[in-house]
């Protein structure tokens, strides 16, 4: 095995480090030398503004991209849902790891009586906020920012009834409470539960090493979801959910997509099945259907609202 040490760039939150160590262990088991380099991101530092106001899709990935372009790290490990659908020039997707739990969960303080009453729920995601309001229009939704640990602490410190998290993130660092409720009615963010490794496109050694970690089923399903997002021009901001799953028995891909207004009052959904051989255009075609079905006007409205 060649002597080059693969330097793994990561944010310094507990979850990001867990992800980086997972990749490190898999590369080491293949015989590669690795080193982890932690970098702080603006998304972790600026905690008082909602994510979509920061004006960057991929705020969590930007710092690591710069470190990679500057030659300080060889690869970066990300929660795939945080990664913009268009990667920066010179950076390529080297592997998508096998996906974990895709669902969102509600973490609450013991009783769920509040679901039938007036309640305050915390989330920093427009997608979760809109889907929550669509189902519970009389609830109040407040902004919740920071890494997973910070958000769990804020939930404890405030009078809120509950907060919405990605199940995978809490499971990975053993923070998922036993009484958390899986929100199987909420369509997840495109690529939720998946981890992606990116590298410099001219770094053949590293790409060859990392590509051995790729899970083809996860790669295809996340590709479909991200293509749907990109076609709707969602970036990180619009309330867009997407989930593609492979049905082995039928050899089909099932796809669910949703676009909502920010207040959750309007909801345009799609539910499609397609032969695996036709997966390449599934995300694009589904997004086109949504756009024709009122989505184009809704996207324009959302963009206007977010400019204010």
Q: What is the secondary structure of 154-185 as a DSSP string?
A: HHHHS--SEEEEEHHHHHHTT---TTPEE-TT
* Residues in a beta bridge with 166: 104
Tokens representing 144 are 């919740």
Q: Using 50, 70 and 90 to split pLDDT, how confident is the model at 58?
A: low
Report whether 11 contacts 58 (CB < 8 A): no
Of 60-69, 97-106, 144-153, 182-191, the least confident: 60-69
Q: What is the pLDDT of residue 49?
A: 54
Provide the pLDDT for residue 234. Answer: 62
Considering the chain, what percentage of its residues have pLDDT values greater than 70?
92
pLDDT band at 26 (very low <50, low <70, confident <90, very high): very high
Span of 44-53, 124-133, 134-143, 263-272 with lowest mean pLDDT: 44-53
Question: Is a pLDDT exceeding 60 seen at residue 46?
Answer: no
Do the beta carbons of residue 103 and residue 184 sit within 8 Å?
A: yes
Using alpha carbons, select from 27, 110, 78 the residue that is nearest to residue 195: 78
Which pLDDT value is given to residue 52?
Answer: 45
| pLDDT attached to residue 42 | 58
Q: Which residues are catalytic?
A: 82
Compute the average pLDDT of residues 176-203.
97
Buried b (16+ CB within 10 A) or exposed e, 142-175: eebbbbbeebbebbeeeebbbbbbbbbbbbbbeb
134 in Cβ contact with 267 (< 8 Å) = yes
pLDDT in tens, 147-172: 899 999 999 999 999 999 999 999 99
Residue with tokens 């992606």: 196
Q: Which of 90-99, 231-240, 246-255, 278-287 has the lowest mean pLDDT?
A: 231-240
Tokens of residue 139, six digits: 């609830």
Helix (H/G/I), strand (E/B), else coil: 266 = coil
Considering only residues 86 and 138, tell me which one the structure prediction assigns the higher pLDDT.
Answer: 138
Determine the average pLDDT of the residues in 125-132: 96
| pLDDT score of 16 | 92
Confidence at 62, pLDDT banded by 50, 70, 90? confident
Phi-psi sector, 212: left (phi>0), alpha (psi -120 to 50), beta: alpha
pLDDT at residue number 48? 59
- DSSP at 296: H
**Predicted local confidence at residue 67, as pLDDT:** 87
Residue 12: the pLDDT is 86
Q: Could you tell me the two tokens for 206? A: 């590293």
Q: How confident is the model at residue 140 (pLDDT cuts 50, 70, 90)?
A: very high
Average pLDDT over residues 123-128: 95
Region 213-233 average pLDDT: 96
20 pLDDT band, cuts 50/70/90, is very high
Ordered DSSP codes for 16-61: HHHHHHHHHHHHHHTT-EEEEEE---HHHH--SS-GGGG--TTHHH
Q: Please, which residues bridge with residue 258 across strands? A: 241, 269
Indicate the pTM of the whole model: 0.91
Residue 50 pLDDT > 70: no
């Amino acid at each position: 095995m060649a002597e080059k040490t693969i330097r793994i760039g990561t944010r310094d939150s507990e979850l990001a480090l867990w992800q980086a160590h997972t990749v490190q262990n898999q590369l080491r088991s293949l015989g590669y030398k690795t080193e982890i380099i932690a970098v702080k991101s603006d998304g972790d530092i600026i905690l008082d503004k909602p994510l979509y106001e920061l004006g960057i899709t991929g705020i969590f990935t930007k710092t690591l991209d710069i470190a990679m372009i500057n030659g300080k790290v060889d690869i970066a490990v990300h929660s795939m849902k945080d990664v913009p659908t268009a990667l920066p020039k010179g950076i390529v997707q080297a592997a998508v790891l096998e996906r974990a739990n895709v669902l969102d969960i509600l973490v609450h303080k013991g009783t769920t009586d509040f679901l039938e009453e007036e309640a305050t729920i915390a989330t920093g995601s427009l997608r979760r906020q809109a889907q929550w309001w669509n189902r519970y229009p009389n609830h109040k939704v407040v902004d919740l920012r920071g890494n997973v640990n910070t958000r769990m602490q804020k939930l404890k410190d405030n009078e809120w009834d509950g907060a919405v998290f990605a199940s995978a993130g809490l499971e990975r660092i053993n923070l998922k409470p036993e009484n958390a409720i899986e929100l199987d009615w909420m369509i997840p963010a495109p690529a939720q539960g998946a981890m992606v490794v990116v590298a410099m496109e001219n770094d053949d050694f590293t790409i060859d090493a990392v590509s051995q970690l790729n899970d083809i089923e996860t790669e295809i399903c996340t590709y479909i979801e991200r293509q749907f997002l990109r076609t709707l021009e969602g970036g990180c901001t619009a309330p867009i959910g997407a989930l593609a799953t492979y049905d082995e028995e039928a050899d089909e891909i099932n796809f669910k997509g949703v676009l909502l207004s920010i207040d959750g009052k309007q909801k345009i959904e799609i539910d499609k099945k397609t032969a695996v051989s036709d997966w390449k255009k599934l995300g694009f075609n589904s997004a086109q259907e949504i756009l024709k079905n009122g989505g184009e006007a809704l996207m324009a409205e959302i963009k206007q609202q977010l400019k204010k």
